[in-house]
Amino acid sequence: MQRFITCLGALALLGLLAACEITIDERTGESDVSVKLPGSEAQRVSLERQWRRCMAYSSRSVCERRIGWVPPGQ
């Protein structure tokens, strides 16, 4: 039973780490840490914000590699 609880704890920790997002403002160097659940509306909004921020300073190909996501219809 102890091993099962340990495994569940490890899976929960991995899930939390997968949902953590660290963003750094390239102009100011200020960082922000937030938790977004994969597939949620909050994650989509965050990805769109990252995309717009990246496109202001970089090319489309750089943003695709850096973010790993392209807004629908782009």
pLDDT tens digits, 13-72: 555 445 677 777 778 888 887 777 777 888 888 889 889 989 999 999 999 998 888 888
Can you give the pTM of this predicted structure? 0.55
- What are residue 23's DSSP bridge partners? 32
- List beta partners, residue 34: 21
51: nearest Cα among 33, 72, 31: 72
